[in-house]
């Protein structure tokens, strides 16, 4: 259905390089032609760009690339609708406020028969399984905690909710409050942590290379999370099936790994997606 991109850093960082490759999958090198969304946290503020035009040809995407917004947390999503018309209200990432913070959520997958009861605090605006999952997570967290709990307590709560929701189907997601970033894999999700010594990277989807040592300081740490690796010459780590990871300040700080972790090949991941009616 879609591809995910996340970035979590210890200093505000320009995502243009990663986004350049990612957006190429929106209609040029791939067939994600049903819109996209990208949200940038800047401090407590949030700038969310949504577009129902193909990402590779979108003026909004052009702006994102030329404007060079620096952010510590970015969540992006390219959509290939498996069914139905793409409308703005069904475009990821979704945004809500919880505990006086904005939260963003983007999902790649397909949840079947997932119809949690209508929330008291959060209701869906569109009609996707993804927004239902996001609202259910926030509703459950808000019911359980009046204020934001300690990070490990929050992680355990999100883990429990993730286990409940993924019983309904494929549930790759990225979620952030501008400070930390949750990433969960049902099938395919990769990440890389870039830190000193920085080297050169070459995009898979575009004839573009960057020497990160020229645009970083030795203290910078940048984690990039994506459905499939964006660069050809770097080592990307794969999240295991059913693994939940929490990123902060550009690195993994907590993870919940199944006892016998399974890592899908790209081919197997795409096959499962197809069998669930999810196109990448």
- What residue ranges bind a second copy (CB under 8 A)? 42-51, 59-60, 63, 66-67, 87-91, 95-97, 99-102, 121-126
88 or 262: CB nearest a second copy: 88
Q: How far is the CB of 12 from a second copy (least distance, A)?
A: 12
Q: How far is the CB of 196 from a second copy (least distance, A)?
A: 29
Q: How far is the CB of 242 from a second copy (least distance, A)?
A: 30
Q: How far is the CB of 141 from a second copy (least distance, A)?
A: 14
Which residue, among 86, 97, 90, 108, has the nearest Cα to 4 in the 3D structure? 108
Which residue, among 160, 154, 159, 41, has the nearest Cα to 103 in the 3D structure? 41
Contact (Cβ atoms closer than 8 angstroms) between residue 124 and residue 132:
yes
Contact (Cβ atoms closer than 8 angstroms) between residue 80 and residue 1:
yes
Dist CA 160 CA 194 (whole Å): 30
60 or 204: CB nearest a second copy: 60
Question: Which strand ranges, in their side-by-side order, compose the sheet holding 237-238?
Answer: 45-51, 36-42, 70-79, 2-14, 221-226, 190-195, 237-238
- Options 2, 9, 135, 241, the catalytic residue: 2
102 or 236: CB nearest a second copy: 102
22 to 127, 206, 241, 274: CA distances (angstroms):
26, 9, 22, 21
At 276, list the tokens.
């669930």
102 or 263: CB nearest a second copy: 102
- Based on the residue annotation, tell me whether 2 is a catalytic residue of this protein: yes
Question: Looking at the annotation, which residues are catalytic?
Answer: 2
């Amino acid at each position: 259905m879609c591809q995910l991109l996340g970035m979590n850093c210890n200093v505000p960082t320009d995502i243009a390089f990663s986004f350049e490759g990612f957006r190429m999958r929106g209609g040029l090198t791939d067939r994600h032609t049903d819109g996209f969304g990208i949200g940038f946290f800047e401090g407590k503020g949030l700038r969310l760009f949504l577009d129902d035009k193909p990402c590779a040809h979108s003026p909004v995407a052009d702006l994102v690339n030329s404007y060079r917004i620096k952010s510590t947390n970015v969540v992006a999503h390219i959509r290939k609708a498996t069914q139905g018309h793409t409308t703005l209200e069904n475009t990821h990432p979704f945004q809500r406020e919880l505990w006086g913070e904005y939260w963003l959520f983007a999902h790649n997958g397909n949840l079947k028969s997932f119809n949690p009861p209508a929330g008291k605090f959060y209701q869906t605006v569109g009609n996707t399984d993804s927004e239902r999952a996001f609202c259910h997570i926030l509703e459950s967290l808000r019911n359980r905690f009046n204020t934001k709990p300690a990070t490990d307590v929050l992680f355990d709560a999100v883990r429990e909710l993730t286990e409940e929701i993924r019983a309904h189907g494929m549930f790759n997601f990225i979620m952030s409050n501008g400070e930390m970033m949750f990433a969960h894999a049902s099938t395919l999700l990769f990440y890389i942590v870039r830190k000193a010594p920085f080297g050169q990277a070459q995009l898979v989807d575009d004839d573009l290379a960057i020497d990160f040592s020229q645009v970083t300081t030795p203290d910078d740490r940048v984690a990039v999370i994506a459905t499939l690796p964006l660069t050809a010459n770097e080592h990307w780590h794969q999240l295991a099936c059913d693994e939940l990871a929490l990123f902060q300040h550009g690195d993994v700080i907590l993870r919940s790994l199944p006892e016998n972790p399974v890592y899908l090949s790209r081919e197997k991941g795409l096959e499962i997606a197809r069998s669930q009616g999810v196109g990448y």
